Structure 1
Amino acid sequence: MTFISPAPGRRPPRRSRWLRAAAATTAVLALAVPAPAAFAAVDDPADETVTASLAPSDGGMVPAVGELTLTLTADNPGPDTLPAGAASVEIGAEPIGSAAALTSWLDSGSTGASFDAVGEIAMPEIASEQSASASLVIEADDAGVDDLEPGVYPVRAVYGAGDDAVRTRTVLLVPETGGTTRQIGVVVPITAGPQSGGVISSESLAELTADGGGLRDQLDAVTGTPAILAVDPAITASIRALGSAAPTDAVAWLDDLLALPNDRFALQYGDADLAAQIGAGEASPVRPVSFAAYLDPSNFGAATDGAGATPTPTPAPVDPVLPTLEELFDIGADRDTVFWPATGTAGAETAAALGAVTGGEDAPVTLLPTSVVRSDAGAHAVSGDADLLVYDADLSRLLEDASTTDAETARGAVLAEFTARAELSEPAAPLLVTVDRANERSAAALSAAIDAATDLPGWTATDLDGLLAAPAATVEVDSVPADVDRVAVIDEFRAAQGGLQRIAGVLEDSSLLTSSERATELQLLGNGWLDDRDAWDAAIQAQRERIATWTDGVALVLGGPITLAGSSAPLVFTVRNDLPWPARVDLLAAPGDARLVIEASTEVEIGAQQTSRVAIPVSALVGSGESSVDLQLRTPAGVEIGPSESVEVSVRAEWESVALVILSVLVSALLVFGVVRTIRRRKRMPVDA
């Protein structure tokens, strides 16, 4: 194991104050805790080096009154028990002056400041492959803290385990009071994660919205905060589409979402990849045009009058009132056409295309990270004709990391860095950050990240209108090529549209198929798949097979050659329907030559996922011979479905005469036989005397 000994030459500690602080130290053994992130370098994942992380409470802010808690967590990955030890804690005497100096300190421990010892943390014995945590509580008015000037200060701990020691570090912020208040906007996504179906199933909704479910955790985390919500409308649509069959928890979750006062905007359906769509040549993002495939009329009641009472029943049936697209997708937003491409996927091309989108009540606005915007301007900017909201990429990354870290000490260290970097930043206008998209994060971790961003000292939270009210700076946006694999998938889906539209023509409502496939494809382009490429590849392959199944969903089922044993008889054919909806087609039949006369067109109705037998009358103009019948399925509008098929027909019309002669001979023979037998029987009978 590699350990670093405590550095000599530090200033004498203020023992009288810090001995009291050390006496307040609390040790809490936390077994089986996931290994926390540590500043100790570990090159080999299988290395058995002891690691440690140090984190202050409250995102690293030193309170004006009350207590500051510093927590040390150590992890013992080795096979032997780590003996009890102690960690000495030191705070730098001079503040860190810049973001670069902060990076240097956290990455390498490099700083020119001297340190004061402030106390010790008693660490318990740590069993093999276990972790332990202990804390040091410091009063805000203790010497060494109360005399610190406002600023960001380095903090380090040297943990002694046996004869060796390991060093870890973090930062504290002493906030300035009475300064100018700055504004910050915090965007938080509300998404359901990767989905492979057009809607979220009832079972998944029940799980996601129950206590401890992903959607419930997200909603609980943002409740009571001023976060700006970015909501996937596929969630609300999936719940509302179930009508009275929606799970109770899902209905309650939707009510809670709409009751929140938070500012919000809608993501694209399924949080689909905007940059890939623009890269594939779409002029604007693709949207669902119908939800008919997912609405069961039996789950919806009839319209009510103005007082809310059901009208007086009448003998005539009352059709149920189905929700409109606008009602299904409503998330309670006051502003439309706000676009948020996934971080790192979009650049100048996407921004320009989205900035030209029309049809909304509000002018389009696109969110982009500072990593692609060449400017030190604040949140509001313009590039060409595109209106932009630019979020700080570095600060947002820290918030995302914190929101996905369940180990409290490791999360606290990340939030302390966030607080310090926000303090050292100097935005020219309101600051925008995001707690970026992530799958399966806890309510506690997400809530901690949001609180750290919205509770920064000297900052006040603002909404979209507040961000857009600031003067817009003119900026240049870097080019970011779209993901070639995702663009190729979009091209593939687009090429399959012709076949889907043809087969949809057999349905009474063609949108049942085309709209469900569009919704499914948008879900498969969701940004939730970005972190799991293997699973996405498998989902795309399943969709390819699904499209192939739909495209060949209605077809003829042919056997071998047919023998027509008569001058007129029906030819029977089978048509299958693999679609989940009833279909109606026309079966066109044409003889291969003039020896057959056949019905040209026959209408066929086939139930959902059933087969139907079709009898077509045929007449033969010759006694015998070989012919054929050409068959073609078409939609009621005349669009051909599948290739034309040809069936060989052997005509044996003279077989009728032959059969009649044979039958006549057999009947005559039977009659003669019967008469002869009767006469012979009478001759053998005895004569009565």
Structure 2
Amino acid sequence: MTRRAAGGAGRPATRTWGWTRAGALLLTALLGALLLPGAQAQAAPAASPAAPVRITITSLEPRTVTPASTVVVTGTLTNDGDDTITDLSVRLQRGDRLATRDELAADAADPSPGDAAQAPFQALTNVVLEPGDPTPFTYTASAADLALTADGVYPVLLNVNGTRAGLVERVGELSTYLPVFSTTTSRTSVAWLWPLTDRPHRDASGAFTDDDLATEVAADGRLDRALTVLEDLPDGGRTVPVTLAVDPALVEELTAMAGGYTVDGAAGQGVAAAGDWLSRLRSLAAVHPVVALPYADVDADALQAAGLPAVLTRSLPGTVEGTAAQPADQGPLPEASATATTTAPAPAPTTSAGERILADALDTTPRTDLAWPAGGAVRTDTLATLTAGGVDQLVLGEGAYSDADAAVGRTGRAAAARVPVDTAGGTLTTLVGDSALAQVVAGADTAAGGPRVAEQRYLAELGVLTSQLAAVDPAVAQTVLVVPPREVESDPDWTTPMLADTASEPWLAAVGLDDLATGPVADAGDLVAPADDARLAGPGMAAVAAAVAVRDDVAGAVVGDPGTVLAGYDAAASRATSAAWRADPDGFAASAADLQQTLSGLRGEVGLVAPADGAYSLASSDAPLVLTVRNDLPFAVDVTLDLQTRSGVGFQAETVPAQRLEPQSRTVVTVPTSVQQSGSFTVVAQLATPAGGPLGTQVQLRVSSTAYGPITLAITIGAAALLGLLFLRRLVLFVLRRRRGEPAPVDDDVLVPVDGDPAGPRPAPPTRSPV
């Protein structure tokens, strides 16, 4: 059996134990009789990889140590092994000062054994730790015990010794950090961007698909805790200007829930919770600045790559073209009426729908000029769409730049979160989110030793930056931006202290995003294109593209502003391409398919009403064909009508100008026709958008006409004239023969007798000769 020795020095060593378990127990007993308790603890070997005692720290004070400080650590020891552990003792031991962020990262990957200085062991008296049992502990050591005399960040090891199965050994250990600052010659300014987003919970029609959002905003839900983190800040948060990144679609959903909603026909359970959450957010928005994200927090790169930049633009909060919003439910649509009239078009909006949603719900004016692309990077063509849509600042991750080390202080120089980027439209301000700090915040709830240890790592990252700045030029300003993941699992018990540290620790300063945008500048190189496999793609985006093609075709038929009229369908397209679906491929596929089905259904809402038997009768050669068309949409549209005959002979319909169909109406359309001959004709009719897209289904009509058309009339007159000529010819020939005394031709003898004798003409009686 090989074990790592750790006692006083904590250095690794190997020992081969060749005796039996009984021999080991005997030797341990003999040594225990010869050694003092303190010496016995120091002689304990290091913890094995499967150390049985799990250490959780609940308090470590002070957060910033000075040479006169007393360090107090409290927490819990839990026996996760199978053996009873006795004679527990605890101490702190530290390693060498960490001078750079790279050294800190290396220590986090391979923690220091803490052999630079050790404080004394302190025994936990009368503690027997049975398997599965926890026990609280408190450990106290002075800065002098740990030889903490110079400013900087130090790795420390919490070492737990104990007796297990008769052997004295290290039964548990936990690594953390202590920032030491005796004087405040340099300060690091820290800004936070706090996300308030969630995946969409509505389908393409605007109906709620589930009631999961009610759970999120209820007590101890993820979004409930996200607000509590801010509410628990000292001084109501006024000393920590956290910027809130809010999705308008989330606020819109919660507003609808607060007014009453249904899920699959049943009343939703989140009415009260939604209203309360919005009220709390409104109060926070009065203290903290708000940034409006694109509607549904769309995946900007996915839309751009699919050739759908207009969908991205319609979701942006910084342009009047950002019209995506789900209309409020105003009850059933009006009944169909042939005399319906179109209401006057609403005046053109002066702000985006996203801005109005947040302004109305939160009673604040949100920022609309800042974008935070999913994944922390952005395509060049996406950047052009964003800037054209009112964006002049971006929040990006370190991976968006070819050389971000300078921006986050890994070069040994001052960190600067502001990075100007040259674009085709000019210089754009970008702000770099610190990835190491974001990872610490995101993983705090699962950090070894508990979230309090994660906070110490957070302080260590900032402490290394501050100490290295002090060594270079204390007068230089230094800025850092912390951007947690969009759906971070936060807890007020540990996240609130992290935020508060920026205002309470003397070597830190709490600032807002505006301060970063006017602060020091770093050269982080060029922007780097994001990985193609990071965005939404595949059949889902193909379905979205097909749906948007239908939307654009119908938009050409809309009477009025298509952006306003089709806002609900544009909102559906944004929800279907939310960046939240990156983590849920099946949910994305279902949402995209629903969008395609819903928008394709728009074509069927307008069409021809076929007669019951599909037959029409025309009484004259120029009688019009009277058709009925329907518009079941809640808005007026302009349509064209196309009629074609199958034979193409004898029936002709004139071109009908574009027809305006009022919302929820039936309209009679008169089609001038020309019939060239009597009979039946097969006519195929189809409505279409002005661009030619089909509306409704083709209707096949059977048109009958008993009227004489020009051709039939000409044939009839010609036949009559010919018959008259033939009769006249016979009459002339008969008269001429009589005058000449010629016998009648055989053909003449078959003329119909005029006396009506059915026997026909009789031969003349014989003539008697005179005597």
TM-score normalized with structure 1 length: 0.69
Alignment of 1:400-439 (within 5 A): 400-402=442-444, 405=445, 409-425=449-465, 426=468, 429-439=477-487
What is the alpha-carbon distance in structure 1 between the residues aligned to residue 616 and residue 300 of structure 2? Answer: 60
Task: Tell me how far 1:154 sits from its aligned partner.
Answer: 1.6
Match of 2:313 among 275, 278, 286: 286
Match of 2:140, SS state, is strand
Question: Aligned partner of 1:69: which letter?
Answer: V
Task: Tell me how far 1:631 sits from its aligned partner.
Answer: 0.6
Please tell me whether residue 357 in structure 1 is matched to residue 387 in structure 2: yes
Question: Aligned partner of 1:68: which letter?
Answer: V
What is the alpha-carbon distance in structure 2 between the residues aligned to residue 195 and residue 351 of structure 1? Answer: 23
Contact 2:536 2:581 in 1 (8 A): no
Question: Aligned partner of 1:71: which letter?
Answer: G
Please tell me whether residue 389 in structure 1 is matched to residue 442 in structure 2: no
What is the alpha-carbon distance in structure 2 between the residues aligned to residue 538 and residue 59 of structure 1? Answer: 50
Question: Aligned partner of 1:233: which letter?
Answer: P
Which 5+ residue runs of structure 1 have no aligned equivalent? 12-17, 23-38, 43-48, 300-318, 655-689
1:221 aligns to what? 229
Please tell me whether residue 376 in structure 1 is matched to residue 406 in structure 2: yes
Please tell me whether residue 486 in structure 1 is matched to residue 536 in structure 2: yes
1:169 aligns to what? 174
Structure 2 CA distance for partners of 1:417 and 1:258, relative to 1, 3 Å: closer
Structure 2 CA distance for partners of 1:220 and 1:621, relative to 1, 3 Å: same
For structure 1, which segment, 511-520 or 241-250, has the greater mean C-alpha deviation from structure 2 after superposition?
241-250
Match of 2:583, SS state, is coil
- Percent identity reads 20
What is the alpha-carbon distance in structure 2 between the residues aligned to residue 450 and residue 508 of structure 1? Answer: 51
For structure 1, which segment, 221-230 or 542-551, has the greater mean C-alpha deviation from structure 2 after superposition?
542-551
What is the alpha-carbon distance in structure 1 between the residues aligned to residue 381 and residue 163 of structure 2? Answer: 54
Contact 1:596 1:618 in 2 (8 A): no
Question: Aligned partner of 1:357: which letter?
Answer: T
What is the alpha-carbon distance in structure 2 between the residues aligned to residue 344 and residue 412 of structure 1? Answer: 27
Question: Aligned partner of 2:588: which letter?
Answer: W
For structure 1, which segment, 371-380 or 108-117, has the greater mean C-alpha deviation from structure 2 after superposition?
108-117
Question: Aligned partner of 1:531: which letter?
Answer: A
What is the alpha-carbon distance in structure 2 between the residues aligned to residue 582 and residue 207 of structure 1? Answer: 40
Question: Aligned partner of 2:576: which letter?
Answer: L
1:546-566 per-position Cα deviation (integer Å, ceiling 9, x unaligned)? 333345444558799845689
Question: Aligned partner of 1:412: which letter?
Answer: R
Corresponding residue pairs, total? 589
What is the alpha-carbon distance in structure 2 between the residues aligned to residue 296 and residue 200 of structure 1? Answer: 10
Match of 2:246 among 231, 235, 250: 231
Contact 2:302 2:536 in 1 (8 A): yes
Structure 2 CA distance for partners of 1:103 and 1:296, relative to 1, 3 Å: closer
Structure 2 CA distance for partners of 1:41 and 1:244, relative to 1, 3 Å: same
Structure 2 CA distance for partners of 1:530 and 1:646, relative to 1, 3 Å: closer
Match of 2:110 among 108, 111, 119: 108
What is the alpha-carbon distance in structure 2 between the residues aligned to residue 495 and residue 216 of structure 1? Answer: 38
Contact 2:358 2:365 in 1 (8 A): no
1:319-372 per-position Cα deviation (integer Å, ceiling 9, x unaligned)? 99999634334374575422222344337x379647x82575xx8222223344
1:91 aligns to what? 93
Contact 1:230 1:265 in 2 (8 A): yes
What is the alpha-carbon distance in structure 1 between the residues aligned to residue 529 and residue 611 of structure 2? Answer: 55
Contact 1:189 1:229 in 2 (8 A): yes
What is the alpha-carbon distance in structure 2 between the residues aligned to residue 368 and residue 392 of structure 1? Answer: 9
2:72 aligns to what? 68
2:569 aligns to what? 517
Match of 1:399 among 415, 438, 441: 441
Question: Aligned partner of 1:539: which letter?
Answer: S
Match of 1:193, SS state, is coil
1:153 aligns to what? 155
Match of 2:182, SS state, is coil
Contact 1:435 1:449 in 2 (8 A): no
Contact 1:40 1:52 in 2 (8 A): no
Task: Tell me how far 1:294 sits from its aligned partner.
Answer: 0.9
Question: Aligned partner of 2:700: which letter?
Answer: V
1:659 aligns to what? none
1:33 aligns to what? none
Structure 2 CA distance for partners of 1:281 and 1:443, relative to 1, 3 Å: same
Question: Aligned partner of 1:503: which letter?
Answer: V
Question: Aligned partner of 2:276: which letter?
Answer: D
Task: Tell me how far 1:158 sits from its aligned partner.
Answer: 3.4
1:649 aligns to what? 702
Structure 2 CA distance for partners of 1:422 and 1:244, relative to 1, 3 Å: same
What is the alpha-carbon distance in structure 2 between the residues aligned to residue 465 and residue 137 of structure 1? Answer: 42
Contact 1:524 1:536 in 2 (8 A): yes
Match of 1:474, SS state, is coil
1:399-426 per-position Cα deviation (integer Å, ceiling 9, x unaligned)? 2222xx1689422222222222221124
Structure 2 CA distance for partners of 1:75 and 1:453, relative to 1, 3 Å: farther
Task: Tell me how far 1:176 sits from its aligned partner.
Answer: 0.8
Question: Aligned partner of 1:157: which letter?
Answer: N
Structure 2 CA distance for partners of 1:40 and 1:557, relative to 1, 3 Å: farther
Contact 2:252 2:357 in 1 (8 A): yes
Contact 1:50 1:75 in 2 (8 A): yes
Contact 1:587 1:604 in 2 (8 A): no
Please tell me whether residue 182 in structure 1 is matched to residue 180 in structure 2: no
What is the alpha-carbon distance in structure 2 between the residues aligned to residue 587 and residue 626 of structure 1? Answer: 21
What is the alpha-carbon distance in structure 2 between the residues aligned to residue 59 and residue 343 of structure 1? Answer: 36
Match of 2:377 among 345, 365, 383: 345
Match of 1:189, SS state, is strand
Task: Tell me how far 1:646 sits from its aligned partner.
Answer: 5.5
What is the alpha-carbon distance in structure 2 between the residues aligned to residue 624 and residue 406 of structure 1? Answer: 86
What is the alpha-carbon distance in structure 2 between the residues aligned to residue 598 and residue 59 of structure 1? Answer: 91
Task: Tell me how far 1:252 sits from its aligned partner.
Answer: 1.3
Structure 2 CA distance for partners of 1:502 and 1:339, relative to 1, 3 Å: closer
What is the alpha-carbon distance in structure 2 between the residues aligned to residue 633 and residue 351 of structure 1? Answer: 37
**Structure with larger Rg:** 2
What is the alpha-carbon distance in structure 1 between the residues aligned to residue 497 and residue 151 of structure 2? Answer: 24
Match of 1:417, SS state, is helix
1:235-285 per-position Cα deviation (integer Å, ceiling 9, x unaligned)? 44556689977963254134213322x244332222223444555567795
1:511-563 per-position Cα deviation (integer Å, ceiling 9, x unaligned)? 46632233233333333333333433333333333333345444558799845
What is the alpha-carbon distance in structure 2 between the residues aligned to residue 59 and residue 522 of structure 1? Answer: 47
What is the alpha-carbon distance in structure 1 between the residues aligned to residue 686 and residue 85 of structure 2? Answer: 83
1:22-79 per-position Cα deviation (integer Å, ceiling 9, x unaligned)? 9xxxxxxxxxxxxxxxx9868xxxxxx8573454635882556676224245473x8x
TM-score normalized with structure 2 length: 0.62
2:687 aligns to what? 633
Structure 2 CA distance for partners of 1:513 and 1:615, relative to 1, 3 Å: closer
Structure 2 CA distance for partners of 1:295 and 1:562, relative to 1, 3 Å: closer
Which 5+ residue runs of structure 2 have no aligned equivalent? 11-36, 42-46, 232-236, 261-270, 316-321, 333-345, 408-415, 470-475, 708-771
Question: Aligned partner of 1:158: which letter?
Answer: V
For structure 1, which segment, 614-623 or 439-448, has the greater mean C-alpha deviation from structure 2 after superposition?
614-623
1:683 aligns to what? none
Contact 2:417 2:431 in 1 (8 A): yes
Task: Tell me how far 1:6 sits from its aligned partner.
Answer: 5.3
1:279-330 per-position Cα deviation (integer Å, ceiling 9, x unaligned)? 556779523433575145689xxxxxxxxxxxxxxxxxxx999996343343
For structure 1, which segment, 243-252 or 543-552, has the greater mean C-alpha deviation from structure 2 after superposition?
243-252
